[in-house]
Amino acid sequence: MGSPLTDPQPFPEFRMTLAMIFPGQGSQSVGMGRELADSFPESRRVFEEVDEALGERLSATIWDGPEDALTLTSNAQPALMAVSIAALRALEARGFDLGARADFVAGHSLGEYSALAAAGAISLADTARLLRIRGDAMQAAVPPGEGAMAAILGLDDAALAEVCAEASQGGVCQIANDNGGGQIVVSGTMASVERGMALALERGAKRAIALSVSAPFHSMLMQPAAERMREALAEVSIAPPRVPLVSNVLASAISDPAEIRERLVEQVTGQVRWRESMTYLADGGVDLLMEVGSGKVLAGLAKRIDKRLAAVSVGTPADVDATLARLA
C-alpha cells in the first residue's frame, strides 16, 4: 500500500466564487455599447430587441446622443440595462455560462432589473418596458424643483439617520443609497435635504454635495411610482433566477419570484443598501465581482467597501477577452 507522503495526490481545482453586478443611473455615456454591437451579432440583437420593445430607436440615442436625451431617466434606465445585457451576450458568445459560473447577481437600483434579466428571471423585452415605465413614473411622482438629493461624505449611517430625522421638520429627508466608501446619499423635499446637508456638516461630514437629479429617488415621495410599478410588475412573468439575486432593500439573497416582485416595488421608495450587499457577498465567500455594462463605478466602490473583494468591469470587447482570460 502506498504512503500518502510518496503517492502523488491530485490538487483540488480552484474555483473563484463570482458575483455579477450591474450598474445604475449615472453610469451612462453617449456611445456606450457601440463597440459590443459592432463586434458581436449577439450584442447587436439586444439593442434591436430593446428598440422593438419600446417602439423607438433608443439605440440611436445611446450611440449618438444628444447627451441630455440619454440622461433623461426614462431613457437612461432601459439604455443602461441594454448595454449590460449586450455585454453579457458578448461573454456568452465566448462560452461564458452565467448559470454555471456565477454564484450571485446584484444591481444598483435600476441595475437590479438588469441583474434579473441577465439571470433569466424577466425577459429582455419585458425588462425594457418595465424600466421605461419606472423611469416615467419616477419622473412624474414629484413636480420639478420640489425634491432634492445630496451626497454626504464622511458620516456614518447611524449619525446620518439622526441628521435626517432632525432635518425633516414636516418634510422628507431620508437615506436613499448607502453606497459605501464613506458615501451616503439622502433624498427628499428640497428644504429638508438642504437642512440635512447643513446639519451633516455641523456633525462632522467632510462634504455635502447637492446632486443634479430630476427627482428625489428612493424616498417616500416616490410612492406614486411604487404603486405604478406594482401594477406593471403584476402583468409580467417572473421566473426563479438562475442564481440568487442580492436584493437592494434586504442586502441578502432571494430567489422566489413573488418576493422578487414585492422587493422591486419596495425598492422604489426604499434604501439601496449597496455597502451591506457587498459585505454580504464578501462574507459569503465571493472572491470576484464582475461589473457588467457601462462604466466602472461599482468596481471602484467595491475596492473601498471590502478589501476581500476584487473587481473587474466588462463593457467593451477588450474587457470581455481580458475577463474570460482571468476566469480561465
- Active-site residue list: 109, 218
Q: What is the DSSP letter of 318?
A: H
Angle (CA) 311-313-314 rounded to 5° is 140
Q: What is the DSSP letter of 265?
A: H
Question: What strands, in cross-sheet order, belong to the sheet with 183-189?
Answer: 173-180, 183-189, 147-153, 207-210
Q: Is 53 exposed, middle or buried (0-12, 13-18, 19+ CB in 10 A)?
A: buried
The residue behind cell 459569503 is 284
Q: How far apart are CA 212 and CA 217, in angstroms?
A: 12
Name the amino acid, one letter, at 34: R
The residue behind cell 474570460 is 324
Q: In sequence order, what are the residues at sequence separation of 6 or more whose Cβ sits closer than 8 angstroms to the Cβ of residue 274?
A: 108, 177, 178, 179, 180, 248, 301
Q: Is 10 exposed, middle or buried (0-12, 13-18, 19+ CB in 10 A)?
A: exposed
